Structure 1
Amino acid sequence: MKPDHSRRYLQLFEALSVVFALCDMHMRDLEVDIHKIKDDPTELLRVLASCWSIVDCVHRTRELSQSVPGLSRNDPSLRKLLSATKSAEEFRHYIQHLRNELSNPDSVTTPVWGSLSWVDEENDQLCYTAMIGTMYEGTNHYSCVYDRYNNRWVSRVALTVKGTTFNFDPAAEAVAEFRKFILNWIIHKSSIKIEPRVEFPIVSCLVDLS
């Protein structure tokens, strides 16, 4: 007798749905706020928060998707997602183990928080790069990559740490594409009805301090 994973399917559906929504929200914020930096450098911290939140959402998508019961590791949609977002693993490892990374300062070849690059919203030939940390001798910085073969930017926003680049546009597109697949897959596999939720219950509590 096959185990009934319906409750787990429901939990994974809800977990992934929220992660997808958070990723969308942070990408929207990033696409707007990134262009404020050139006029107001203090916006860089807000943008950096969005960047690392997106990295975390992509990493969480990878982790949750690989724990879905019955979904083969060889599934084309899953393999495509994992291939397109593999840099998220290295980024998460770097920030999670930043203490250890900085214990060997020579191994950190970029500014501590990396170099953030973006393409101007009006001039498609203009790219900016912010070095988020001190540039010691031998420290490297990176910019957005232009694909001359396809005549387009690989990503209009990119963050690089220790030589590894996270390209936000293709990563977000890969997550959005996988979203269409995995949520429907879970709905069809579950023996109980699963419906997307846009509202969640809120409970109020009045405390009498008298």
Structure 2
Amino acid sequence: MTERRKADDLNRAQQLLLCLDGLRYSFAIVLSCHARVRSALSTFEADWQSGAPANAVIQVVADAWAMIDATQRIRLLIERAPILPKNDPEFRIFKVGTSAVEHLRHYVQHINNEITGITGQAQPLWGTISWVNETDVLMQFSLFTGNQHLQASVPGLVFDRQEMRFVRTLELNVGIHIIDLDSLARRARALDQIIADWAGTIQFSDGQKYDYRPAIAPMVMMAVRTTPIAESHWDKSQGAQSTQDP
């Protein structure tokens, strides 16, 4: 094997490890944010007529949009990762099933144009979050993230009268775009496990196997120590600076 081939293989291996790290963290962000959103929304239900605490709503909105951003990162990293079996059916299904996140990423990147183009009633800038009640599957709530003085339309979940159920159980609705947040979490969890199983087959030249989900993250500590600085004063009689040790 030539030195050039060795260098190319080393670079590909390095790129794969970076992509796998990026995927692992991105999947974890989607799932942890989804869990926090679900937990917070359930606390809003009991006193829904009084509204939800603003600080808690901000966290929910941040987590919902973090799910969008992390899902888009997953899509990009899958395309970038060398030797990952991205053409397998599971990867293609994930890509098709999460394609809506690209529309919301475009929405955020061109948010100035989105505001300029609004006339009359509009949805809140960061969207409306709607979900099905956990104990009563025929009841739904919608969280209005905009100011109460905004002339806005608040959409709700679509109900299938034939199946007698809501089509989606948790969604973020922004303008004409709808993201099924429960579906994002399910797809992320499934593909994360597929990649974990695949990554478990990676073996390094020293015989060690790749650990996709390490229990410990390494840390580095650095401390800066300073030494006392000698006191300085001006010797007025000499017109020069002299130093005295403390």
Residue aligned with 2:154, SS: coil
Whole-Å separation in 2 of the counterparts to 1:191 and 1:66: 23
Pick from 190, 195, 204 the counterpart of residue 211 of structure 2: 195
What one-letter code is carried by the residue in structure 2 that aligns with 1:15?
G
Q: Structure 1 residues 173 and 155 mapped into 2: Cα distance closer, same or farther (>3 Å)?
A: same
Instruction: For residue 70 of structure 1, report the CA deviation from its aligned partner.
Output: 3.4
Asked if structure 1 preserves the Cα contact closer than 8 Å seen for 2:123 and 2:154, the reply is: yes
Between the aligned residues of both structures, percent identity stands at: 25
Task: Give matches, 1:130-149, under 5 Å.
Answer: 130-133=143-146, 135-136=150-151, 139-148=152-161
Larger relative contact order (Cα-Cα within 8 Å, sequence gap ≥ 6): 1
**Is contact 1:101-1:108 (8 Å) kept?**
no
Partner residue in 1 for 2:14: 7
- TM-score scaled by structure 2? 0.73
Which SS does the other structure have where 1:142 is aligned?
coil
Equivalent position of 1:76 in the other structure? 89
Aligned residues: 208
53, 64, 70: which one pairs with 1:57?
70
Structure 2 letter corresponding to 1:36 = T
Render the CA deviation track for 1:144-167: whole Å, top value 9, x for unaligned: 233455554333211111111011
1:153 aligns with 2:166: yes
Deviates most, 150-159 or 75-84:
150-159
The correspondence for 1:171, drawn from 175, 184, 204, is: 184
Cα distance in 2 for partners of 1:114, 1:126 equals 20
Contact map agreement 2:128 2:142 (CA 8 A) in 1: yes
Cα offset for 1:78?
A: 1.4
Which residue number in structure 1 is paired with residue 115 of structure 2? 102
Q: Normalized against structure 1, the TM-score is what?
A: 0.85
Aligned residue for 2:142, secondary structure, equals strand
Query: What are the ranges of 5 or more consecutive residues in structure 1 without an aligned counterpart?
Result: none
Between the aligned partners of 1:11 and 1:173, the Cα distance in structure 2 is: 24
Worse-superposed segment, 167-176 or 143-152? 143-152
Range with bigger deviation, 72-81 or 110-119: 72-81
Aligned CA-pair RMSD: 2.7
- Largest Rg, 1 or 2: 2
